[in-house]
Amino acid sequence: MCGIVGYIGDTQAADLLMEGLSRLEYRGYDSAGIAVLNGNGLDIRREVGKLRNLAKEVAVNAPKGLIGIGHTRWATHGRPTTTNAHPHTDTLGQLVVVHNGIFENYLEIKHELIKDGVIFLSDTDSEVLAHLVARSYTGDLRLAVQVALSRMHGSYAIAVLHQDHPDLLVAARNGCPLILGIGAEENFIASDIPAILNHTRQIIYLEDGDIAEVRQRSWSVFNLQGERQHRDQTTIEWSLVAAEKGGYDHFMLKEINEQPTTLAQTLGGRMGEEEGRVYVDEFGITDEQLRRIRQIVIVACGTSHYAGLVGEYYFEQLARIPTTVEYASEFRYRKPVVDGDTLIIGLSQSGETADTLAAIREANNLGGLTASILNVQGSAMSRETQGTLYMRVGPEIGVASTKAYTGTVASLLLVALHTAQVRGHVTADFVRETLGSLRQVPSWIEETLAEVGAIQDLAAMLHTFRNCLYLGRGVNYPTALEGALKLKELSYIHAEALPAGEMKHGPIALLDADFPVIAVATKSAVYDKTLSNLKEVAARDAVTIALGTRGDERLAEVVDRVIYVPETPEIISPLVNVVPLQLLAYYVATKKGCDVDQPRNLAKSVTVE
């Protein structure tokens, strides 16, 4: 999704803007631009495609000036072209605007402005704001932005620069992330922390409805009525190295390999093995409320949704609470049955996914209890739910989610164990035993990562196929879904996942020698049934690959290839079993020469509905 950077200080702005934008590349984009106030007016540069195209243009004749704004655009309204790239100007070219989000009523206002004689140069909804600010401007830029925004409906993070105000950046947010970075003799705005972490660790999270005035040595925040707001500064502890590749070819590979560490972070301080209990107070739902709830609804998208399906299994099996997992994008359009005894859990790495946020808001409106499991601190969803359990896996830069998946699943298991214990369905001994197994997960994942050679061989064989079917059962059906999502989003190979028993009810018709099947067939309560399903596949000449438990010779007799993982308790197995499937998708994609960290058409945080 789009990225915004702004700078005011005593250094050439263009350099800092380009650096900041490069650190936001992970968000996904298809064009980029910067605008710098150079003493005579605005110097604007925009290019389609990768940031290097803009960097080339800037390198030839860099805009000179100490204040500027920059933007990476992920097209929503209008194709990825230079004229649609941000920043956008007003008709006189006196001000520029960058925008992340969608102005839902832009057409109505655009028509009104066209009637007044305004000529639009782009197809974007964002350009409307530039003209609207110009029309409201009478010398006070913040006030003009405030008046203009009061006309716009929708989500936004914006930054505005005016040639009459070489000492002022105006920024605002509603529904899209935006932070201020406070430096010495310089200040920043950005969509996300890595953009400015090289220069400051002092951050202010803007809230929905905030408008900030940012100057070289000061900043102030107002609401949309012009009243001053108090905002606290936060010190960021993340190292920049943690947000960079750390020696791996891609962020994604680094993030897959980080999982033993990130899971230890997720679990750290939350496992009371001696007492046989779990500490998840930040989740924000009291024991009394946990005893009272009659149903759980998990809302999430993509990978987070699949993690939620594992959570469904946990809440039902352990806590005996009816649980459903909803696509967040569907939830509020189907008149969900929610009351004060319904717990709605939002799952999101970014905490900014528009569909999940909208579902949580709907749940709040309906009077449900809401909580979230998130990764990005201070993100919008944390402010809209009663409590947030952070998965603590650190910045996830690769567009394809990996460590956030395992972080979410582990967090769900902790919450489900606690809920089950509070409701009297599991004993302290059971909790102690499960926590003991959870403690071993980092080393089980280390063992699994060591299978990389076998996975690379498999990838070399698989990368020429055009379709692939994943099978799983029980708690590992979501593992199959997540494996298929990883393969399709990274390698563009069509991949689907089915509960293994469902295959014979139709999809088996697809199978032949050109349609490989990958099954999660580790030891579990449904192992024998999965083995029978695999025999059905093998009889159709399909190449059969299975994820099996180390030492399982029987499986090797049925399928063509086996990737072995360590034996784990079934309840824990999704945390380990997904890892080889992440690696497989990664190596198939790199074998095909695909851009694994930024697959085509994808964005890291989908902040539009």
Q: Which is nearer to ligand M6R, 43 or 255 (by Cβ)?
A: 255
Scanning residues 550 to 609, which ones bind ligand M6R (CB under 6 A)?
602, 605-606
| 329 near ligand M6R, judged by CB under 6 A | no
Q: Which two tokens stand for residue 171?
A: 């920024």
Contacts of 131 (CB under 8 A, 6+ apart): 90, 91, 113, 118, 120
DSSP state of 370: E
Residue bearing tokens 């800092």: 16
Long-range contacts made by residues 331-337, C-beta under 8 angstroms, separation at least 24? Answer: 331/297, 331/299, 331/358, 331/359, 331/362, 331/363, 332/358, 332/359, 332/361, 332/362, 336/297, 336/362, 336/363, 336/366
Nearest to 69, CA basis, from 184, 169, 214, 185: 169
Q: Provide, rounded to whole angstroms, the least separation between the CB of residue 604 and ligand M6R.
A: 7
Scanning residues 96 to 125, which ones bind ligand M6R (CB under 6 A)?
none
Strand 544-549, strand 561-565: pairing: parallel
Scanning residues 394 to 413, which ones bind ligand M6R (CB under 6 A)?
399-401
Q: Provide, rounded to whole angstroms, the least separation between the CB of residue 11 and ligand M6R.
A: 33
Residue bearing tokens 């749940």: 363
Q: Which of 349, 533, 568, 582 binds ligand M6R (CB under 6 A)?
A: 349
Question: Of 4-12, 114-122, 349-357, 439-447, which segment contacts ligand M6R by CB under 6 A?
Answer: 349-357
In whole angstroms, what is the distance from residue 392 CA to residue 20 CA? 24
Q: State the maximum Cα–Cα separation within the chain, in Å, rounded to a whole number.
A: 80
Q: Provide, rounded to whole angstroms, the least separation between the CB of residue 86 and ligand M6R.
A: 23
Residue 2 near residue 24, CB atoms below 8 Å: no
| 549 near ligand M6R, judged by CB under 6 A | no
604 counts as catalytic: yes
Question: Of 46-54, 133-141, 343-351, 468-476, which segment contacts ligand M6R by CB under 6 A?
Answer: 343-351
Q: Which is nearer to ligand M6R, 351 or 548 (by Cβ)?
A: 351
- Please work out the total of residues on this chain that contact ligand M6R, with binding judged by CB under 6 A: 16
Set 254, 403, 486, 604: catalytic member: 604
Long-range contacts made by residues 127-130, C-beta under 8 angstroms, separation at least 24? Answer: 127/88, 127/97, 128/103, 128/152, 129/88, 129/97, 129/99, 129/103, 129/156, 129/158, 130/88, 130/89, 130/90, 130/95, 130/96, 130/97
Scanning residues 284 to 313, which ones bind ligand M6R (CB under 6 A)?
301-304
Residue 524 near residue 508, CB atoms below 8 Å: no
| 16 near ligand M6R, judged by CB under 6 A | no
609 Cα distance to chain centroid:
14
Q: Which of 262, 348, 544, 573 binds ligand M6R (CB under 6 A)?
A: 348
| 350 near ligand M6R, judged by CB under 6 A | yes
What Å distances lie between residue 8 and 14, 23, 68, 384, 585, CA to CA? 11, 18, 7, 32, 42
Q: Which is nearer to ligand M6R, 468 or 537 (by Cβ)?
A: 468
Residue 130 near residue 97, CB atoms below 8 Å: yes
Q: Provide, rounded to whole angstroms, the least separation between the CB of residue 395 and ligand M6R.
A: 12
Residue 511 near residue 606, CB atoms below 8 Å: no
Q: Which is nearer to ligand M6R, 356 or 549 (by Cβ)?
A: 356
Q: Which is nearer to ligand M6R, 349 or 448 (by Cβ)?
A: 349
Q: Provide, rounded to whole angstroms, the least separation between the CB of residue 595 and ligand M6R.
A: 13
Q: Provide, rounded to whole angstroms, the least separation between the CB of residue 608 and ligand M6R.
A: 11
Q: Which of 72, 216, 265, 356 binds ligand M6R (CB under 6 A)?
A: 356
DSSP state of 348: E
Nearest to 404, CA basis, from 265, 197, 540, 278: 265
Question: Of 257-265, 347-355, 365-373, 510-518, which segment contacts ligand M6R by CB under 6 A?
Answer: 347-355
Using CB positions, name the residue nearest to ligand M6R. 302
Q: Provide, rounded to whole angstroms, the least separation between the CB of residue 352 and ligand M6R.
A: 7
The DSSP result for 164-204, as a single string, is: T-TT-EEEEEEBS--EEEE-SS-EEEESSGGGTTTT--EEE
Cis? peptide before 87, omega within 30° of 0:
yes
Question: Of 41-49, 199-207, 346-354, 447-455, which segment contacts ligand M6R by CB under 6 A?
Answer: 346-354
Nearest to 32, CA basis, from 12, 17, 13, 16: 17
In whole angstroms, what is the distance from residue 158 CA to residue 145 CA? 10
Q: Please count the other Cβ atoms lying within 10 Å of the Cβ belonging to residue 445.
A: 27
Set 2, 176, 468, 594: catalytic member: 2
Q: Provide, rounded to whole angstroms, the least separation between the CB of residue 301 and ligand M6R.
A: 4
Q: Which two tokens stand for residue 456?
A: 């690379």
Q: Provide, rounded to whole angstroms, the least separation between the CB of residue 355 and ligand M6R.
A: 8
Q: Which is nearer to ligand M6R, 402 or 549 (by Cβ)?
A: 402
Q: Which is nearer to ligand M6R, 212 or 393 (by Cβ)?
A: 393
Residue 608 near residue 73, CB atoms below 8 Å: no
Scanning residues 144 to 203, which ones bind ligand M6R (CB under 6 A)?
none
Strand 187-190, strand 202-205: pairing: unpaired
| 489 near ligand M6R, judged by CB under 6 A | yes
Q: Which is nearer to ligand M6R, 89 or 401 (by Cβ)?
A: 401
Residue 211 near residue 168, CB atoms below 8 Å: no
Summarize the chain as % helix, strand, coil (round to 5). Answer: 40, 25, 35
Residues that bind ligand M6R (CB under 6 A): 301-304, 348-350, 353, 356, 399-401, 489, 602, 605-606
The residues that are catalytic are: 2, 604
